[in-house]
C-alpha cells in the first residue's frame, strides 16, 4: 500500500510539473509541428504523392504527430531528473520508501502522458489542414503508447546518466533528434536507394513512425508486426536497463 501511494504521489507530482507550464511543454511543440506542416505541405503537396495516391500533407501528419510525441516524452523524464539533481530536490524522493519500480512507473508514466497529450494536440490542429483517416486505429494506439513509453524510459536513463545540462543537450542533439528526423517523418524510406533504406531500417525510431502511420493508411514500408516486434523488444531492453540503474542507485546515491 505504501508503494502504491508513493507511486501515485510521485506520478501526480511529475504530471503537475509539466501541466503547470503547459504553454511551454504542450503548446510550444504543437506550434512547432504546425509550422513544419505549413512549410512542407505548401512546398511539396502538389508535387509529391506517397504510396501511389496519398497526398504529401496527409502522409506528413502522422509523422509529425509521432515526432512531437517522442520528443516530448523524452524531454519530460530527462529534464525532470537533471533539474532535481542540480537543484538538490531529488534527495526528498530518495528519502521515501518508494521502490525502484515506483520510480520507473511514475517517471515513465508521466512522460508517456505528456507525449500523448502533445501528440493529440498536434493531431487536433492538423485536422484543419487535411481530412484524417483511421484504417486501423488499434495500431495507432499501440504505437503511440509504445513510442511514448520507450522515449520516456530512454529519457529516464539519460536523466540518470547526465550530471549537467550540457550532457543532456548532447544526448538530445546527437542521438534523439537525428534518429527522429532520419526515421521517415518527412519521407517514405521506400523512395530511398537500397543502401539508405538499409541504413534507415537500422533505426528503431523508423519502426515506431512506420507502424504508427500504418494505422492511418493501412500502408507502410515494412510489416506493422515487424515494427511491433522491434519497438516492443527495444522498450523491454531499455526498461530492463533503466530498472537496473534505478535499483543500484546509479548517480543518484552516494
- The candidate with the shortest Cα–Cα distance to 204, out of 184, 220, 188, is 184
What is the predicted pLDDT for the residue at 2?
A: 46
Find out whether 211 and 135 touch, Cβ atoms under 8 Å. no
Distance of alpha carbon 152 from alpha carbon 77, whole angstroms? 6
What is the predicted pLDDT for the residue at 254?
A: 57
User: Could you list the pLDDT tens digit for every one of the 254 residues in the chain?
Assistant: 444 577 888 999 999 999 999 999 999 999 999 998 888 777 766 666 677 778 888 888 999 999 999 999 999 999 999 999 888 888 888 888 888 999 999 999 999 999 999 999 999 999 888 888 889 999 999 999 999 999 999 999 999 998 888 888 888 888 888 888 888 888 877 777 888 888 888 899 999 999 999 999 998 889 999 999 999 999 999 999 999 999 998 988 75
Residues 120/125/130/135 CA torsion (nearest 10 deg): 10
- The candidate with the shortest Cα–Cα distance to 6, out of 76, 84, 100, 111, is 100
What is the predicted pLDDT for the residue at 48?
A: 65
β-bridge mates for residue 49, sequence order: 55
What is the predicted pLDDT for the residue at 45?
A: 63
Coil/strand/helix, residue 50: strand
Who's near 205: CB < 8 A, 6+ residues apart? 70, 179, 180, 182, 183
Is residue 121 classed exposed, middle or buried when 0-12, 13-18 and 19+ CB atoms within 10 A define those classes? buried
Q: Distance of alpha carbon 186 from its chain centroid, rounded? A: 16
Find out whether 199 and 224 touch, Cβ atoms under 8 Å. no
Find out whether 212 and 126 touch, Cβ atoms under 8 Å. no
| Residue 109 CA neighbour count, 13 Å, CB half | 16
Distance of alpha carbon 28 from alpha carbon 4, whole angstroms? 33
Amino acid at each position: 500500500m505504501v508503494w502504491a501511494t508513493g507511486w501515485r504521489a510521485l506520478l501526480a507530482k511529475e504530471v503537475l510539473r509539466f501541466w503547470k507550464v503547459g504553454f511551454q511543454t504542450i503548446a510550444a511543440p504543437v506550434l512547432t509541428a504546425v509550422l513544419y506542416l505549413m512549410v512542407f505541405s505548401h512546398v511539396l503537396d502538389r508535387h509529391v504523392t506517397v504510396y501511389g495516391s496519398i497526398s504529401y500533407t496527409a502522409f506528413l501528419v502522422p509523422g509529425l504527430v509521432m515526432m512531437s510525441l517522442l520528443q516530448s516524452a523524452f524531454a519530460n523524464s530527462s529534464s525532470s531528473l537533471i533539474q532535481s539533481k542540480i537543484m538538490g530536490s531529488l534527495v526528498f524522493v530518495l528519502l521515501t520508501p518508494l521502490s525502484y519500480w515506483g520510480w520507473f512507473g511514475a517517471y515513465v508514466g508521466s512522460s508517456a502522458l505528456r507525449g500523448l497529450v502533445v501528440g493529440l494536440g498536434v493531431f487536433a490542429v492538423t485536422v484543419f489542414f487535411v481530412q484524417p483517416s483511421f484504417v486501423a486505429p488499434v495500431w495507432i494506439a499501440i504505437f503511440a503508447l509504445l513510442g511514448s513509453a520507450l522515449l520516456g524510459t530512454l529519457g529516464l536513463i539519460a536523466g540518470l546518466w547526465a550530471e549537467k545540462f550540457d550532457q543532456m543537450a548532447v544526448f538530445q542533439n546527437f542521438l534523439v533528434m537525428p534518429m527522429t528526423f532520419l526515421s521517415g517523418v518527412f519521407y517514405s524510406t521506400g523512395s530511398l536507394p537500397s543502401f539508405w533504406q538499409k541504413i534507415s531500417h537500422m533505426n528503431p525510431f523508423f519502426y515506431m513512425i512506420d507502424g504508427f502511420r500504418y494505422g492511418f493508411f493501412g500502408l507502410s514500408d515494412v510489416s506493422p508486426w515487424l515494427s511491433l516486434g522491434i519497438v516492443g523488444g527495444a522498450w523491454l531492453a531499455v526498461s530492463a536497463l533503466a530498472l537496473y540503474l534505478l535499483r543500484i542507485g546509479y548517480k543518484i546515491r552516494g
